[in-house]
Homo-oligomer: A and B are copies of this chain.
Amino acid sequence: MDLATMEGLEGVSLQRLADELGMSKSGVIGHFASKEDLQLRTVEAAAERYREEVMERAADREAGLERLRALLEGWIAQVEARTPVGGCFFWAASAEFDGRPGPVRELLVALMERFVGLLEAEVHTAQRTGELRADVEPAQLAFELHAVAQEANWARQLLGREDAFERARAAVARLLEASRPA
């Protein structure tokens, strides 16, 4: 996961991975059916880590606005903890595979749709509890929340902006506040 975030999933060659692990190339490939299989399992491992560190912790919080905040803060904190070395695995993988058809792209699409869908569902729940206004469009708010989180990763990884995650937190807080009932 770390290698793939920095050098790309395609950039993790079997030999390179073998050197990193102190074993032979055939020793590595014995664990995977092919390089594509290695890539799929790497994406699955990143999804599992994300599920544990972000989704499960948020699931303990009350459904609605509180859980929505926990999902976003969990995402931000998790990526922040991985900077400057690598940053967000899914951001890097998205850009690498958005133009390459195949099972890796399809898996990434399914995972990202699930996460964006979770944000949308939590906005919807917060509307039912009256914590967010009914005239807010869940898909639009989820789009903007996800946008500022991804921007934080971009600004930190490419530009080295140390304040990127604080900017994302401020934007999330303002977006949610602007969506509250009068």
Contacts and interface: CB of A to CB of B under 8 A. Distances in A.
Interface of A: 5-8, 10-11, 86-87, 91-92, 94-100, 105, 108-109, 112-113, 116, 139-140, 143-144, 146-148, 150-151, 154-155, 157-160, 164, 167, 170-171, 178
A93 to B, nearest CB: 9
A95 to B, nearest CB: 3
How many copies of this chain does the complex contain? 2
Contacts of A150: 147, 150-151, 154
Given A147-B147, A148-B144, A151-B146, A109 B171 contact: no
Given A148-B143, A148-B144, A159 B109 contact: yes
Contacts of A171: 140, 143-144, 147
A150 B5 CA distance: 19
B112 A86 contact: no
B99 A86 contact: yes
Given A99-B86, A159-B109, A94 B154 contact: yes
B95 A91 contact: yes
Contact of A98 (B11, B109, B139, B158): B158
A132 to B, nearest CB: 15
A113 to B, nearest CB: 6
A167 B151 contact: no
Q: Which of A6, A87, A96, A164 has the most CB of B within 10 A?
A: A96
A143 B152 CA distance: 9
